[in-house]
């Protein structure tokens, strides 16, 4: 066992203890939670934003002024998220909720994988891909219509979009407020797979009065009570071994 592995194992044991001792544990996840389900992250080493300017494709003004650019990007995102499955890390979090240890998951991800894995109290802070509507008139539409770049059947505008938050838009207030209230109550916050570069979500770790644990493939320069550098799937699966021992 090399030093790094020893450090990781010590971190995992400590995390299991924190979880078992906690009364109200919350989780915050980002794109790194989903990479092992084959959904690329944004700013990691193989991230989407390495070659794409986020400000251009994922900005609300792009939908309104350059719909085709927006559409081309989102069509690829939709394809990338079709048929994806949760991995052992998602299932571990669902099991922790079932055991009453985790009280909820706030996620920046739009994949729906936490729900698919069986987690119940999930706060989708950046929206989700399941709902589609017209950005012009608000009429509902289908994913297939969005995928095929159809105009809105109600107002005929080329403006169909998924129910996700774009740069320049506010987060859904009800979901955000619930997540904030839950995190403020927490005595342990587990932060997984996020660069913490995007506001306002990157402020959430500072709202808990409890312990903070960061699980990520790389250090992102924030201070936590415990940092475990590694992959979400392995770390969460190993943590369950200690929890279930």
Would you say 97 and 122 are in contact if contact means Cβ atoms under 8 Å apart?
no
Q: Which residues pair with 213 in a beta bridge?
A: 190, 226
**Long-range pairs, 140-143, Cβ under 8 A, ≥24:** 143/78
| 125-128-133 Cα angle (round to 5) | 120
- Asked whether position 32 contacts ligand OAD by CB under 6 A, the answer is yes
Q: Is 87 considered catalytic here? A: no
CB nearer to ligand OAD: give 154 or 229.
229
Active-site residue, selected from the candidate residues 71, 87, 90, 126 = 126
Report in angstroms the alpha-carbon separations of 178 from 67, 123, 130, 133, 146.
32, 8, 21, 24, 30
- The phi and psi torsions of 226 (rounded to 5 degrees) equal -145, 130
For ligand OAD, give the closer residue by CB, 195 or 208: 195
Contact, 151 vs 157, CB < 8 A? yes
Please compute, for residue 11, the number of CA atoms within 13 A of its CA located in the half-sphere on the CB side.
24
Minimum separation from the CB atom of position 150 to ligand OAD (A): 23
Site string for ligand OAD, 11-30 (x = CB under 6 A): -------------------x
**The two three-digit tokens of residue 240, written as one number:** 């369950």
8 counts as binding ligand OAD under rule CB under 6 A: no
Ranges within 86-125 binding ligand OAD (CB under 6 A) = 108
The reply on whether position 194 binds ligand OAD by CB under 6 A is yes
Taking CB under 6 A as the rule, does residue 84 contact ligand OAD? no
Contact flag: residue 139 with ligand OAD (CB under 6 A): no
Judged by beta carbon, residue 70 or residue 156, the one nearer ligand OAD is 70
- Interface with ligand OAD, residue 231, by CB under 6 A: yes
Say whether residue 220 binds ligand OAD (CB under 6 A): yes
* Binding footprint of ligand OAD, residue count (CB under 6 A): 26
Tokens of 90: 């998602």
In the bound state with ligand OAD, the residue whose beta carbon lies nearer, of 55 and 150, is 55
Binding mask of the shown chain, residues 39 to 78, with x at each position contacting ligand OAD by CB under 6 A: --xxxx--x------x---x--------------------
Under rule CB under 6 A, residue 238 binds ligand OAD: no
Which positions lie near ligand OAD, rule CB under 6 A? Answer: 30-32, 35-36, 41-44, 47, 54, 58, 108, 126, 165, 193-195, 197-198, 216-218, 220, 231-232
Give catalytic residues, as residue numbers: 126
């Amino acid at each position: 066992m090399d030093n790094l592995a020893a450090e990781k194992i010590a971190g995992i044991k400590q995390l299991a203890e924190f979880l078992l001792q906690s009364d109200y544990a919350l989780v915050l996840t980002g794109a790194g939670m989903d990479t092992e389900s084959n959904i690329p992250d944004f700013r990691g080493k193989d991230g989407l934003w390495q070659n794409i300017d986020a400000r251009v494709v994922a900005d609300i003004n792009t939908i309104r002024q350059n719909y085709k650019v927006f559409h081309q990007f989102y069509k690829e995102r939709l394809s990338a998220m079709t048929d994806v499955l949760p991995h052992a890390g998602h299932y571990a979090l669902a099991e922790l909720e079932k055991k009453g240890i985790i009280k909820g998951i706030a996620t920046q991800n739009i994949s729906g994988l936490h729900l698919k894995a069986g987690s119940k109290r999930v706060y989708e802070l950046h929206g989700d891909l399941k709902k589609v509507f017209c950005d012009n008139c608000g009429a509902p539409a289908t994913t297939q219509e969005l995928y095929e770049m159809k105009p809105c059947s109600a107002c005929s505008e080329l403006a169909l979009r998924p129910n996700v938050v774009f740069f320049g838009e506010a987060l859904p207030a009800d979901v955000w407020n619930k997540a904030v209230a839950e995190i403020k109550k927490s005595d342990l916050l587990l932060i997984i797979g996020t660069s913490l570069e995007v506001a306002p979500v990157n402020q959430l770790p500072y709202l808990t009065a409890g312990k903070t644990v960061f699980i990520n493939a790389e250090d992102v320069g924030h201070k936590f009570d415990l940092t475990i550098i590694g992959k979400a799937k392995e770390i969460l699966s190993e943590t369950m071994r200690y929890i279930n021992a």
